[in-house]
Structure 1
Amino acid sequence: MRIFDWAAIGCAAMLAAGTLPAAAQDFPAKPVTVVVPFSPGGASDTIARVVTNAMQPGFAQPLVVENKPGANGAVGAAQVARARPDGYTIMQASIGAYAINPALQDDLPYDPRKDLDMLTIAVRTPNALVTRPTMEAATLEELIAKLKAEPDSMLFASSGTGSSDHLTAELFWQVTGTSGIHVPYKGGGPAQTDLMGGHADASFQNLGAIANFVRDGKMKLLAIAAEERSPEFPDVPTLKELGIEGMEVYSWQAFAAPKGLDPANRQTLSDQIAAALKTPAVSDQLKGMGFEIIANTPAEADAFVAAEIDRWTEVVKAGEIKPEG
């Protein structure tokens, strides 16, 4: 896999940030804490640090990234939801904290629609259907035919129960009228390793995470769950092209603040984050990680997250999925 120099990314982002718009004169008046509800080193943490480094030169106060991991993002997200809606505590997190937790957990200590104001959807990467390198089915059509002829004959690896890759597989089975056996792992790395080793048959993984494995022949890439084909794999069709409707699925990252944030401060934060994402240094580096820059408006982000919660709630209910533990 590619190895990225995060320090170099941060420095390049800061150098490129000279054109960022200045923050409003009356905000911020003190440091802003950016809560990442996951451990250091992951995608959410990296995005938070790259973006805040790019924002900092044009921001009137320090931006401090603070990791608060636990319960698939629920611990940190709940902290942000309870914070004062003054713009001095915000969050950068993934689809899990914003849309999957509400769909999966009945006792979640926060509700993104009631407790959070979205600032922007920062980036996204499509999920992709990959198989072990020795998989007999060479096309999506052959894979579906095998699943229909032999229900529950294939092991679908995921990074854990309720993960984006797990729910994408569940959606795939529901849409195609097939079924497989879900095998949850403790993270994407172990799931990918077992898939490459032939201990699992298939998986829906983030395209950016498995691109090099596909190029090296360690996995077969059958289709991409995206609106359009990937520039990295222009010969690989989307699921929609192959007749599978409703399977545009992305793993995404977004910034949010406690509900009730002053509209002007909300817009300031959203504009600053979007400007940072669009600087060449940040954009190029995140694209190099397999992400597409979104940087949409707060209203667009609110609507998107609400739709995602509804979507995954239906999938969880239809699949009778229960959280681990």
Structure 2
Amino acid sequence: MTLTRRKLSAALAAGIASTWGAGVAWAQSYPQKAVKLVVGSPPGGPSDFLARVLADSIGPGMGQNFIVENKPGASGMPAADQVVKGVADGHQLLISGPASIVVMPHMFSKITYDPMRELVPVTMLGAGAFVLVVHPSVKANNVKDLIALAKANPNQLTYGSGGNGSSGHLCTEYFNGLAGVKMTHIPYKGDGQAVVDLLAGQIQVMFTAPNVAMAHVKSGKLRLLAVTTKERVSSMPDIATVHEMGVKDFEYLGWIIVFAPAATPPAVVDQLSSAWLKVKNTPAIAQKLNELAMAAPERYSARPALQDFVKSEYVRLGKLIKDNNIKSEV
């Protein structure tokens, strides 16, 4: 069964009351009013969806409404700036993917905030695999074949992405570096345009989100080679990871994390983190995260581990951007 947000909300209403009744005692001082969840993308995308799941799931137990505010544009930087400059009391939080936190600070010279100094990660709502797909004309049935082909033909294979600094661009360049190959980048205005040319054979390779590619894989128009998580994806258990196919330690996640201003009281941050950890494994939420292939790795559940992960992503992608001279289109 596929859960829409409306069905999910109904399931949450039916099931989470018992979760909150299991002895969770919230400090009376927080929240004192509605909590705003600022999302740097339009309604309907993964960040927006998970923000609304968070709002529906923890609001009742914390005794206040959690309200989603969409502030799209400029790779999420205006949304991050709004939260950074807001009151650090936990009543305004940022829901963000990598772009505004660990990518644009290395690509955009006029950025108005320092994400490593002015924001702290609260909890990871989800983290998904990208898929590696090729046009059927490419003589590669697995990652090892693709690497051998690319090594024999440097810069002859072309790959598409949703633009300079996009997840698909950075993921592929990270793959190129670890695999020791060179492929030529063709940027597009979004993954949708790129996959059209991939289907036509104008480009040969693409790392993209499962929802972009899987219908074409099932119809035989694209060949699926691997997923980018270190562990296999539960909804695609037969598909190998890039890591297990010989590119040691390769992992590239499409993550969505809740951030708070750095000066937010630690007790408030801990409350918010505990609230999500308490509800994320309820059947309705767990089912939806698995359907979306967005279940976050358990190794990032503890806040110290999550903080280390965000810092390591900042360093890793900063080096990748610098080494490949990747420039912003913003």
Percentage of identical aligned residues: 32
Verify the 8 A CA contact 1:147 1:154 in the aligned structure 2.
Answer: yes
Distance in structure 1 (CA, Å) of the matches to 2:196 and 2:129: 20
Query: SS of the counterpart of 2:93?
Result: strand
Equivalenced residues, count? 324
Is there any run of 5+ residues in structure 2 with no aligned partner, and where?
none
Distance in structure 2 (CA, Å) of the matches to 1:232 and 1:43: 17
What residue identity is the alignment partner of 2:104?
N
Query: SS of the counterpart of 1:292?
Result: coil
What displacement does 1:248 show?
1.1
Indicate the residue corresponding to 1:139 in structure 2.
142
Corresponding position: 1:317 with 2:316: no
Task: Indicate how the Cα distance of structure 1 residues 281 and 111 shifts in structure 2: closer, same or farther if over 3 A, else same.
Answer: same
Task: Indicate how the Cα distance of structure 1 residues 204 and 250 shifts in structure 2: closer, same or farther if over 3 A, else same.
Answer: same
Indicate the residue corresponding to 1:222 in structure 2.
225
What displacement does 1:202 show?
0.7
Corresponding position: 1:190 with 2:193: yes
Corresponding position: 1:71 with 2:74: yes
Q: Structure 1, residues 109-146: CA drift from partner, whole Å, max 9, x if none? A: 12221011210122111222111233232232222222
TM-score (norm 1): 0.93
Query: SS of the counterpart of 2:280?
Result: helix
Task: Indicate how the Cα distance of structure 1 residues 267 and 292 shifts in structure 2: closer, same or farther if over 3 A, else same.
Answer: same
Indicate the residue corresponding to 1:34 in structure 2.
37
Runs of 4+ in structure 1 displaced over 4 angstroms?
A: none
5 Å matches for 1:65-104?
Answer: 65-104=68-107
Verify the 8 A CA contact 1:208 1:290 in the aligned structure 2.
Answer: no
What residue identity is the alignment partner of 1:117?
V
Verify the 8 A CA contact 2:171 2:207 in the aligned structure 1.
Answer: yes
Task: Indicate how the Cα distance of structure 1 residues 230 and 208 shifts in structure 2: closer, same or farther if over 3 A, else same.
Answer: farther
Distance in structure 2 (CA, Å) of the matches to 1:231 and 1:31: 36
Task: Indicate how the Cα distance of structure 1 residues 6 and 133 shifts in structure 2: closer, same or farther if over 3 A, else same.
Answer: farther
Corresponding position: 1:11 with 2:36: no
Task: Indicate how the Cα distance of structure 1 residues 323 and 4 shifts in structure 2: closer, same or farther if over 3 A, else same.
Answer: farther
5 Å matches for 1:1-325?
Answer: 5-18=4-17, 19-20=19-20, 21-207=24-210, 209-294=212-297, 296-325=301-330
What residue identity is the alignment partner of 1:300?
A
| Residue range with higher mean Cα deviation, 224-233 or 66-75 | 224-233
| Residue range with higher mean Cα deviation, 179-188 or 205-214 | 205-214
Query: SS of the counterpart of 1:136?
Result: coil
Task: Indicate how the Cα distance of structure 1 residues 97 and 274 shifts in structure 2: closer, same or farther if over 3 A, else same.
Answer: farther
What displacement does 1:276 show?
2.9
Verify the 8 A CA contact 2:55 2:65 in the aligned structure 1.
Answer: no
Q: Structure 1, residues 230-253: CA drift from partner, whole Å, max 9, x if none? A: 333333322222221231111111
Task: Indicate how the Cα distance of structure 1 residues 10 and 243 shifts in structure 2: closer, same or farther if over 3 A, else same.
Answer: same
Verify the 8 A CA contact 1:125 1:208 in the aligned structure 2.
Answer: no
What displacement does 1:265 show?
0.9
Task: Indicate how the Cα distance of structure 1 residues 312 and 144 shifts in structure 2: closer, same or farther if over 3 A, else same.
Answer: same
Verify the 8 A CA contact 1:16 1:54 in the aligned structure 2.
Answer: no
Query: SS of the counterpart of 2:329?
Result: coil
| Residue range with higher mean Cα deviation, 220-229 or 304-313 | 220-229
What displacement does 1:163 show?
1.2
Verify the 8 A CA contact 2:233 2:293 in the aligned structure 1.
Answer: no
Q: Structure 1, residues 60-100: CA drift from partner, whole Å, max 9, x if none? A: 11111101111111110111111111011001111222222
What residue identity is the alignment partner of 2:89?
D
What displacement does 1:300 show?
2.1
Verify the 8 A CA contact 1:122 1:255 in the aligned structure 2.
Answer: yes
Task: Indicate how the Cα distance of structure 1 residues 190 and 117 shifts in structure 2: closer, same or farther if over 3 A, else same.
Answer: same
Verify the 8 A CA contact 1:195 1:201 in the aligned structure 2.
Answer: yes
Verify the 8 A CA contact 1:81 1:258 in the aligned structure 2.
Answer: yes
Q: Structure 1, residues 176-204: CA drift from partner, whole Å, max 9, x if none? A: 22211212222222223332332321111
Task: Indicate how the Cα distance of structure 1 residues 24 and 214 shifts in structure 2: closer, same or farther if over 3 A, else same.
Answer: farther
TM-score (norm 2): 0.91
Distance in structure 2 (CA, Å) of the matches to 1:9 and 1:46: 11
Distance in structure 2 (CA, Å) of the matches to 1:9 and 1:126: 22
Query: SS of the counterpart of 1:223?
Result: strand
